Amino acid sequence: MAGMNKVEKPLCFHCGDTCDREHIVFEEKDFCCNGCKTVYEILNQNDLCIYYDLQKNPGISLKSKKFDDKYAFLDNEEISKLILDFNDGEKAKITFYIPSIHCSSCIWLLENLYKLTDGISHSRVNFVKKEFSADFNPSIISIRKLVELLSTLGYEPSISLEDSNKKSEKSINRSLYLKIGVAAFAFGNIMLLSFAEYFGFEGLEMNVQRFMSYLNILLSLPVVFYCASDYFKSAYSGLSQKFINIDVPISLGIIVLFLRSLYEIISMSGPGYLDSLSGLLFFLLVGRWFQNYTYQGLSFDRDYKSYFPLAIYKYVEGRLRSIPVSQIVKGDEINVRNQEIIPADGILKSSRANIDYSFVTGESNPVSKEIGEYIYAGGRQLGESIRLEVVKPVSQSYLTQLWNNDAFTKEKNQNFEILINKISKYFTVAVLVIGLGGFLFWIDKDLKTALNAMTAVLIVACPCALTLSAPFTMGTTMRIFGNRNFFIKNVNVIERLLNITHIVFDKTGTITYNQKSEVNYEGELVMQEDFRNIKALAMNSTHPLSRLLAESIDENIDNISLEKYVEITGAGLQAVVGGYTYKLGNRDFVVQNAHNSFMTTDATQIYVSKNEQLLGRFKIENKYRDGIQEVVASLKSKFNFSILTGDNKTEEQRLIDLFGEASAYKFKQSPQQKLNYIVELQKSSENVLMIGDGLNDAGALRQSDIGISVTDDTSNFTPASDAIMTSNALRYLPDFMDFAHISHRIVVAAFIISFLYNIFGISFALSGGLTPLVAAILMPLSSISVVVFATTITNLMAKIKKLI
């Protein structure tokens, strides 16, 4: 085993990797590869070695990173203008997403880039979003040079088709911050001006008191017309759809508060409740801010565009020219180079291609294609560049046409009603009935008292505490999940988790490891020598399966020579090794007409023969993620399962062993079929949780009630979904489901507490005893106590459940 090797290997000074393959010593420092050494040299020459003082081994490993003329397309102005934020020839602005930003050294180096090269006047890093923006002079340093410089340093920006339609999105939070600021300003000042009133101080002259009251009205105007505008809008749009949401009683409370205060001040019958009004808005907005917390570093709505390239090389009159991907039309001949993504369906014109579909299907073993074969877009070519004749333009390709489905255009989960809105109907009706009751009770006495009682009920019942309980409980839960690497898009996802009845898993890459495959040998006993010879033979081929096989055999193959090596494409290999003729390959190639017991399934397997005598076969199977068994076992009693996979039935038995007979298994599913399967489940009134990883799951993730994409690294691409989970968090899935229920119960408990406050307040109101002072105390007290209750209990429960 490799882990047994105890020899201390030096760590790379730049990136911190072990220097095992290569070891370069430069200026008494160890480097693991030439790339790392080069970066050190560049930084050293430019006095930028603070980079290494800020963090230990801050660099990004540059092993196997080559970009020769990968970015030559950026010299094409038509393409470069797509990604520039601004350009007037002298000054240009550009923003990149750089996934490898990870520490303070990164920020420091990227912001000191101007010391490294001329032409950059200013650069900034947004650490959370992993965004790098620079002002530069394009006549001194071209975009291509800039990108290449970043790549040399290990900060390769991700440039994709998505960059071409950049929206200049301003943070939505900005207006919320402003509103909170205004509300806080008004709240503080109105309270200050009302102090005399609170303590019944009567020494003030009449005109001073009047002045203060009118100032209060002035201060409350922006609160009502600016800060509260969202609540009015939401209440109005709810009502126009004949639906009473929680914003209806809130708006009602705000309007009544304002009008009654206005009346009291103008008629000089009282000081009004403007302090309560602005305080109410302040707390509500803070609650909204807490709830709107988002993971800025993650993107929950990526489609194929953020994965597809921006430009591609097209053959124009025998020469290569880069064109934007969106301009590809049927019949174009394009050139796809090593490590590039194939942007459109096409027919292979080169003799052979080796395509890695891991982003699409989660399957890590590359697929070999022959000349004339149809190639689907989305794969990554490995090896030498290939020539393709485009059959369908980008948006109509097999994979991308999935995004033309209805599921992507309509708003998701429109019909889902969150708990608070379910309650608000009854709440609003009850408040109106009680208010009217109070009015009728006092009407005999006099109209003024009756109106006072009714408005007091509407004021005190304004569901501030009620509205705050869910945001703070769910917001805290969201952060707790985040600590466990389960990142949800918004707090509604937690409530939707409660209704899930059916869990659909994608197989490859989700419940199996992306990278690891198990190679198992089945057949007659073979001598160690045979294994060694087989490895030597497999080493000679570049075919992915041969590679995998060679890697799986742990033998020393020095001094083994091959003779008469033949590789037949699409069949297998053959050679004389150590005096025996070995054949490796598919069934037809290795065994002619033989019928043997282990030739039943068409698994990914390599047959092997020695001197035309069949020895056995190597089965290549996916390795299931650790802990997946426990996850299934603990979820089994509560949910139904389905497994969707694009693969064939090879692994059916293993899956049944894992998930049981009762689950549904669907093999060879296209992206569209996966989506359709979810639709069918939903038609039989199941609430579906889909867990997937690749682009081929994108439709199903979108259609399902909750889609969770699993990824090994959150800076990797993930298809649009409601939540993103790192693969090591998958084992906590049952805990997350449980905790969603706990949070729900906490919300209900907080509701009950705020109802108690309401009943208490209403009894005051009905008796006509709701003075501005009581309102000013009761309102913040109830809100703060509910917030404290919700956050502490949620954190406490998370501790008990060992989630934090």
Q: How far is the CB of 111 from other proteins (least distance, A)?
A: 7
Find out whether 210 and 272 touch, Cβ atoms under 8 Å. no
- CA gap 627, 177 in Å, rounded: 43
When binding is defined by CB under 8 A, the residue of 93, 102, 129, 412 that contacts other proteins is 129
Find out whether 336 and 388 touch, Cβ atoms under 8 Å. yes
- Which of positions 131-190 make contact with other proteins (CB under 8 A)? 171, 173-174, 177-178, 181-182, 185, 188-189
The token duo for 209 is: 């008191």
The residue (of 43 and 797) whose beta carbon lies closer to other proteins is 43
Q: How far is the CB of 565 from other proteins (least distance, A)?
A: 51
The H or E element containing residue 192 is helix 173-198
- CA gap 703, 706 in Å, rounded: 8
The token duo for 86 is: 């601004």
Q: How far is the CB of 99 from other proteins (least distance, A)?
A: 16
- Which of positions 99-118 make contact with other proteins (CB under 8 A)? 104, 107-108, 111
For CA atoms 79, 83, 85, 90, the dihedral sign is negative
Find out whether 615 and 584 touch, Cβ atoms under 8 Å. no
Q: How far is the CB of 270 from other proteins (least distance, A)?
A: 20
Find out whether 11 and 17 touch, Cβ atoms under 8 Å. yes
Q: How far is the CB of 790 from other proteins (least distance, A)?
A: 24
From the list 201-209, 238-246, 671-679, 689-697, the region that binds other proteins by CB under 8 A is 201-209
From the list 120-128, 361-369, 738-746, 763-771, the region that binds other proteins by CB under 8 A is 120-128
Q: How far is the CB of 192 from other proteins (least distance, A)?
A: 8
The residue (of 125 and 488) whose beta carbon lies closer to other proteins is 125
Find out whether 159 and 84 touch, Cβ atoms under 8 Å. no
Question: Which residue matches tokens 């097999």?
Answer: 398
Beta bridge partners of 664: 642
The residue (of 177 and 426) whose beta carbon lies closer to other proteins is 177
> What is the DSSP secondary-structure string of 668-706?
S--HHHHHHHHHHHHHTT--EEEEE-SGGGHHHHHHSSE
Q: How far is the CB of 230 from other proteins (least distance, A)?
A: 17
DSSP SS3 for 276: helix
- CA gap 281, 745 in Å, rounded: 26
For CA atoms 93, 97, 100, 106, the dihedral sign is positive
The C-alpha angle 491, 492, 496, rounded to 5 degrees, equals: 130
Find out whether 300 and 724 touch, Cβ atoms under 8 Å. yes
Find out whether 737 and 725 touch, Cβ atoms under 8 Å. no
Q: How far is the CB of 185 from other proteins (least distance, A)?
A: 5
- Helices (DSSP H) in 403-463: which residue ranges? 406-409, 419-442, 447-460
When binding is defined by CB under 8 A, the residue of 8, 88, 202, 205 that contacts other proteins is 205
Find out whether 784 and 475 touch, Cβ atoms under 8 Å. no
Residue type, 529: E
- CA gap 210, 379 in Å, rounded: 75
Give the rounded distance of the alpha carbon of 512 from its chain centre.
20
Query: What is the total residue count of the chain?
Result: 804
Q: How far is the CB of 107 from other proteins (least distance, A)?
A: 6
Find out whether 733 and 792 touch, Cβ atoms under 8 Å. no
Q: How far is the CB of 177 from other proteins (least distance, A)?
A: 5
The residue (of 222 and 437) whose beta carbon lies closer to other proteins is 222
- Which of positions 212-251 make contact with other proteins (CB under 8 A)? 212, 215
The C-alpha angle 485, 488, 493, rounded to 5 degrees, equals: 140
Q: How far is the CB of 216 from other proteins (least distance, A)?
A: 11
When binding is defined by CB under 8 A, the residue of 195, 211, 236, 760 that contacts other proteins is 211
When binding is defined by CB under 8 A, the residue of 140, 204, 568, 777 that contacts other proteins is 204
Find out whether 769 and 503 touch, Cβ atoms under 8 Å. no
The residue (of 132 and 300) whose beta carbon lies closer to other proteins is 132
The residue (of 54 and 748) whose beta carbon lies closer to other proteins is 54
Q: How far is the CB of 211 from other proteins (least distance, A)?
A: 6
Q: How far is the CB of 783 from other proteins (least distance, A)?
A: 23
The residue (of 297 and 383) whose beta carbon lies closer to other proteins is 297
The residue (of 66 and 124) whose beta carbon lies closer to other proteins is 124
The residue (of 208 and 800) whose beta carbon lies closer to other proteins is 208
From the list 210-218, 340-348, 374-382, 451-459, the region that binds other proteins by CB under 8 A is 210-218
When binding is defined by CB under 8 A, the residue of 78, 85, 121, 128 that contacts other proteins is 128
The C-alpha angle 37, 39, 45, rounded to 5 degrees, equals: 100
Q: How far is the CB of 128 from other proteins (least distance, A)?
A: 5
Interface map 286-305 toward other proteins (x if CB under 8 A): --------------------
Q: How far is the CB of 127 from other proteins (least distance, A)?
A: 4
- Which of positions 728-747 make contact with other proteins (CB under 8 A)? none
When binding is defined by CB under 8 A, the residue of 25, 140, 208, 777 that contacts other proteins is 208
Interface map 51-90 toward other proteins (x if CB under 8 A): --xx------------------------------------
- Which of positions 376-415 make contact with other proteins (CB under 8 A)? none
From the list 124-132, 149-157, 234-242, 371-379, the region that binds other proteins by CB under 8 A is 124-132
Q: How far is the CB of 131 from other proteins (least distance, A)?
A: 9
- CA gap 707, 718 in Å, rounded: 11
> What is the DSSP secondary-structure string of 292-346?
T---TT--S---GGGTS-SEEEEEETTEEEEEEGGG--TT-EEEE-TTPBP-S-E
The residue (of 49 and 788) whose beta carbon lies closer to other proteins is 49
Find out whether 723 and 488 touch, Cβ atoms under 8 Å. yes
Give the rounded distance of the alpha carbon of 635 from its chain centre.
24
* Tally of CA atoms within 13 A in the half-sphere of 360 that contains its CB: 24
When binding is defined by CB under 8 A, the residue of 26, 114, 127, 589 that contacts other proteins is 127
- 323-342 exposure pattern, b = at least 16 Cβ within 10 A, e = fewer: bbbbebeeebbbbbbeebbb
The residue (of 74 and 212) whose beta carbon lies closer to other proteins is 212
Count residues contacting other proteins (CB under 8 A)?
Answer: 34
Interface map 14-53 toward other proteins (x if CB under 8 A): -------------x----------------x--x-xx--x
Q: Which residues bind other proteins (CB under 8 A)?
A: 27, 44, 47, 49-50, 53-54, 104, 107-108, 111, 124-129, 171, 173-174, 177-178, 181-182, 185, 188-189, 193, 204-205, 208, 211-212, 215
